[in-house]
Amino acid sequence: GIMVFVLGLATVLLNNVWLYDWKISVTILGWLSIIKGLALIFMPRKVMKLYEKSIKDKEWISYAILVVFFIGLMLAYFGFTGK
């Protein structure tokens, strides 16, 4: 939890951009990491129960993997091309 929080905090501190651009996705991911880290630090049992409940429904996992993959492709493209 602490590591997720620290990584999210570093992302937000280094890249807190709120423009209608691809860079806002990095900021949003940073804020989501901060929220997840805080939840893991202060409510670890509730978060683990939520994870266990979500793993039982395996149908959405393949869709989530595709979404994360395409977000990663988008961030890699924009990060390396600088557009």
Q: What is the pLDDT of residues 26-63, one digit of tens each?
A: 999 999 999 999 999 999 999 999 888 888 877 788 88
pTM exceeds 0.85, yes or no: no
How deeply is 31 buried, as exposed, middle or buried, from its count of CB atoms within 10 A (0-12, 13-18, 19+)?
middle
Amino acid 52: pLDDT: 84
- Distance between CA 25 and CA 37 in Å, rounded? 18
Count the residues in the chain: 83
- Distance between CA 77 and CA 71 in Å, rounded? 10
Kindly state the tokens that stand for 70: 């395409």
